[in-house]
Copies of this chain bind each other. A is one copy, B any other.
């Protein structure tokens, strides 16, 4: 149908396809943090909701599993850092993809951001000594900033 055809116009555009691919990859990577948190909560037996420890028994025997664990907290900080950095990438990246960049330039931005965020996760979880995590964060941040500059240059209407 005519409308279906229209809906697929954007997805036919190569820059938009690249944006779609990398956005899905970084969002799936972010979603993975939930599974890693669950993994550490279960293996470390460290929960926050009383109803989550009910299977370990009642009363005091279950209560001891309501505690924080350094590994769990580390994954949660990595997850929050993802939210803080991947949300701007997804929002600004969409507008950047629609601002008519060269495919090669766009790919460069998307690839570096995605690589930097994957590195950031490894740096956080292993953990690598600083400035490993700091640098990978700064690279992703700079890429988003560069895309923001292009969007503002193209779209500026205050």
Interface of A, helix, strand, loop or mixed by DSSP: helix
A116 at the interface (CB under 8 A from B): no
Residues in chain B near residue A135, CB distance under 8 A: none
* Contacts known (A31-B141, A34-B84, A155-B21); A52 close to B8, Cβ less than 8 A: no
What are 27 A-B pairs at a CB distance below 8 A? A3-B14, A6-B10, A6-B13, A7-B98, A8-B99, A8-B100, A11-B98, A16-B155, A17-B157, A18-B157, A20-B95, A20-B98, A20-B157, A21-B151, A21-B152, A21-B155, A24-B92, A28-B88, A28-B145, A30-B84, A49-B74, A49-B127, A51-B130, A79-B84, A80-B80, A83-B87, A86-B87
A18-B158, A31-B141 known, 17 other contacts, Cβ within 8 Å = A7-B98, A8-B99, A11-B99, A11-B100, A17-B155, A20-B157, A21-B155, A21-B157, A23-B92, A28-B88, A30-B87, A31-B85, A31-B145, A51-B133, A83-B84, A87-B90, A90-B91
